Amino acid sequence: MSIGPYHYLGLAAALFAIGVIGVVTRRNAIGVLIGVELMLNAANINLVAFSRFSGGLDAQIFAIFVIVIAAAEAAVALAIILQLFEKRSDVDVDRARTLRG
């Protein structure tokens, strides 16, 4: 079996879907964060796959940028989650609801 673009796209779609489900169902902030990372990486796989099968290199370079940005984002997110833990002793995003209405 030869691996074609659709396999990559299928994998990315599956990853994206898993990410979405994780984001929506997880109450643990870190779980939500992981879900988001999955979604970002799914998009990244798409980028690389399209780049691989349609010629140009620029999207592959772009994917590297995205990885860096995702790392920065995760670092900031973890820092904020840590602060949340320090304040409330848990990281349940559902219980952080003083701001509402």
Binding residues vs other proteins (CB under 8 A): 16, 19-21, 23-27, 29, 32-33, 36, 39-40, 42-44, 46-47, 50-51, 54-56, 58-59, 61-62, 65-66, 69, 72-73, 76-77, 80-81, 83-84, 87-88, 93-94, 96-101
Q: What are phi and psi of 100, to 5 degrees?
A: -165, 175
Q: What are phi and psi of 6, to 5 degrees?
A: -65, -30
Q: What amino acid occupies position 54?
A: S
Closer to other proteins by Cβ: residue 2 or 97 = 97
Closer to other proteins by Cβ: residue 2 or 50 = 50
Cα–Cα dist 24/51, whole Å:
30
Q: What amino acid occupies position 47?
A: L
